[in-house]
């Protein structure tokens, strides 16, 4: 009987070794899990898009980004996961939330960090995920103007000579600090047109005249930078962002 080429190359019965069978079964299990993750992820994206429509119109006063809600989503997942998975869960949920936000409009991020640009850029990428459109820029004032017009957010270095942060008390009072990057003592801050009640829970950011004297009452305080007698600091004092004098935001 004549044999076709196909039959010669692929014998009819392929004997799998027990190891190959076990591997194939595990991969089938992963495929089934992936199908479930995909269905749930797409369902979540659709809900996020609907949430976006329930917020301000695109021309509304604040960006769609809600740091307080993102903090709640993340800490809920971190409190439920196994400790050994915490790092993976945190990064994955930053991505998930980043794509949820992108369904309401892609987030534009302008990063200005002349001293440690890659550190600030990496901080922004980890925070906002692959969904964000992140650009390095040369002028912090232009990045602040961009954020103030509601086009996106700015990530600006504070370990520099440029005391852009003084403007948060004056011309940029519509902007709030909502995150910090670079470690326990941040070297760059994220700033945006964030609804003050939607700022994260945690340390407040204050810009005050007259050095780094502290708030009294024993609240812990970390000075970040000082310029011509003005200081930007983090404090554990219970100040209300947008209401307390000098409180220009909060970071988690
Ligand atoms: C879905 C929302 O919008 C954005 C996306 C979020 C998410 O995907 O979980 C959370 C907060 C917002 O930045 C929301 O505000 O609930």
Ligand 1 within 6 A of CB of 66: yes
ipTM for the assembly: 0.99
Q: What is the pLDDT along the chain (252 residues), one digit of tens a residue?
A: 555 555 566 667 888 999 999 999 999 999 999 999 999 999 999 999 999 888 865 556 678 999 999 999 999 999 999 999 999 999 999 999 999 999 999 999 999 999 989 989 999 999 999 999 999 999 999 999 999 998 899 999 998 889 999 999 989 999 999 999 988 899 999 999 998 889 999 999 999 987 555 555 678 889 999 999 999 999 999 898 878 889 999 998
How far, in Å, from the CA of 50 to the mean position of ligand 1? 10
| Residue nearest ligand 1's atom 15 by CA | 66
Residue 188 Ramachandran class (φ > 0 left, ψ -120 to 50 alpha, else beta):
beta
Cα-based distances in Å from 47 to 41, 52, 103, 118: 10, 9, 9, 34
How far, in Å, from the CA of 65 to the mean position of ligand 1? 7
Among 45, 68, 69, the mutation site with the greatest number of ligand 1 atoms within 8 A of its Cβ is 69
Q: What number of other Cβ atoms are within 10 A of residue 149's Cβ?
A: 10
Ligand 1 within 6 A of CB of 97: yes
Ligand 1 within 6 A of CB of 73: yes
Ligand 1 within 6 A of CB of 68: no
């Amino acid at each position: 009987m004549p044999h076709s080429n196909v039959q010669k190359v692929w014998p009819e019965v392929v004997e799998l070794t027990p190891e190959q069978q076990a591997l194939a079964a595990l991969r089938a299990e992963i495929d089934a899990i992936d199908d479930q993750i995909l269905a749930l992820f797409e369902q979540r994206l659709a809900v996020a898009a609907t949430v976006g429509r329930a917020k301000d119109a695109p021309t509304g006063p604040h960006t769609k980004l809600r740091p307080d809600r993102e903090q709640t989503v993340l800490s809920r997942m971190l409190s439920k996961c196994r400790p050994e998975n915490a790092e993976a869960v945190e990064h994955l949920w930053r991505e998930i939330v980043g794509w949820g936000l992108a369904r309401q409009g892609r987030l534009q991020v302008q990063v200005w960090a002349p001293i440690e640009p890659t550190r600030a850029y990496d901080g922004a990428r980890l925070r906002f995920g692959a969904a964000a459109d992140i650009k390095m820029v040369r002028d912090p004032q232009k990045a602040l103007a961009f954020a103030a017009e509601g086009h996106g957010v700015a990530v600006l270095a504070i370990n520099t000579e440029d005391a852009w942060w003084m403007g948060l008390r004056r011309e940029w009072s519509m902007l709030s600090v909502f995150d910090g990057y670079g470690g326990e003592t941040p070297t760059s801050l994220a700033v945006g047109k964030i609804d003050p009640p939607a700022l994260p829970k945690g340390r407040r950011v204050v810009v005050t005249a007259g050095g780094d004297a502290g708030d009294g009452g024993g609240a812990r305080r970390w000075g970040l930078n000082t310029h011509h007698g003005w200081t930007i600091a983090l404090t554990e004092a219970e100040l209300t962002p947008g209401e307390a004098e000098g409180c220009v935001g909060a970071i988690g």
